[in-house]
Amino acid sequence: MQQREIDALKRACLYSFIPNKLGYCGPPGSWEAFLAFISSPSEEQAPGVRQLLRHFFALHPYLELIAKANEKSAFDPEIIEAYWIGSDLLLNVQFSEFQKTILSFQRSGLPRPIAEKKAACLPDGLLPHHSAHVLYVNFISKNVPPLIENLGNCLIQWAEVKSESEKGIEARGIGLFSEGGEFKILEKAKKILDPFKISPKPGDFVSVHWGNAIETLSEESLESLKKFTLLNLAALTPKSR
């Protein structure tokens, strides 16, 4: 197993850790195994971690969808990056295959009428990035209500670090809000927790999930996260006739 594959699996654990610890997604207690892997990733732990991630019903189907379209494995580093951050690999996914993935969520608890309606009304241009699941499919789990605050917290956000202290990170980031039935994002000051001790410097950009800093973003990753999040927001905005 190459180091890049271990690093990618660690990345998947980082983004999956918080929602699992909150009880929103994946087998209960998976976060403990993820934390052990994040702290000291090894090839020996990898099979168990992958098996847990396969049971994340709002994650693994998308990894398989993107992987199939690009003739790669579900845990390929490029596939993990495409789903959580974004990349042009998303463009290779066929519209009809995306619809089938949404229909498959019936097996995980999404009511049949909702799954069928979401699949039938899938907007043109919507890409199978994490933002699409948050903003369009919403939550499958009944443990978290689809309130705008929760949707915003689940969205992978970006934020520029202003300062850091023991109390957390002061940053300038984004917030999700709804206006006239449409999702929009705006800049806002944020206080972010740093559970993984990434200790970013002022001026660094970090990704944020459920109010927690996940990783320091490279310039390329930052641009990709912005690009594919905004593309999906645009796809969900009703077009004026």
pTM assigned to the model: 0.94
Task: Examine residue 221 and state whether it is found in any structural domain, yes or no.
Answer: yes
Task: Examine residue 241 and state whether it is found in any structural domain, yes or no.
Answer: no
Measured at the CA of 88, the angle between CA 173 and CA 121, to 5 degrees, comes to 80
pLDDT of residue 165: 86
Q: Cβ(66)–Cβ(93) under 8 Å?
A: yes
Task: Examine residue 31 and state whether it is found in any structural domain, yes or no.
Answer: yes
Q: How many CA atoms lie within 13 A of 59 on its CB side?
A: 25
Q: Cβ(19)–Cβ(154) under 8 Å?
A: yes
Task: Examine residue 142 and state whether it is found in any structural domain, yes or no.
Answer: no
Q: Which of 93, 116, 137 is the last residue of a domain?
A: 137
| 128 and 152 fall within a common domain | no
| 117 and 177 fall within a common domain | no
| 32 and 128 fall within a common domain | yes
pLDDT < 70 regions, the chain = 239-241
pLDDT of residue 117: 96
| 59 and 153 fall within a common domain | no
Return the exposure string of 108-128: e unless at least 16 CB atoms fall within 10 Å of the residue's CB, then b.
Answer: eebeeeebeebbeebeeebbb
Q: The tokens of 235 are what?
A: 């796809």
| 200 and 128 fall within a common domain | no
pLDDT of residue 239: 64
Q: Which of 108, 137, 166 is the last residue of a domain?
A: 137
Q: What is the CATH number of the domain that holds 231?
A: 2.30.30
Task: Examine residue 120 and state whether it is found in any structural domain, yes or no.
Answer: yes
Number of domains the chain contains: 2
Return the SS3 of 15. helix
Q: Cβ(182)–Cβ(190) under 8 Å?
A: no
Q: How far apart are CA 165 and CA 45, in angstroms?
A: 33
Task: Examine residue 51 and state whether it is found in any structural domain, yes or no.
Answer: yes
| Boundaries of domain holding 227 | 148-236
Phi-psi group of 211: left, alpha or beta (phi > 0 → left; psi -120 to 50 → alpha; rest → beta): left
| 84 and 178 fall within a common domain | no
Q: Which of 137, 168, 196 is the last residue of a domain?
A: 137
| 125 and 174 fall within a common domain | no
Q: Which helix (H) or strand (E) holds 231?
A: helix 219-236
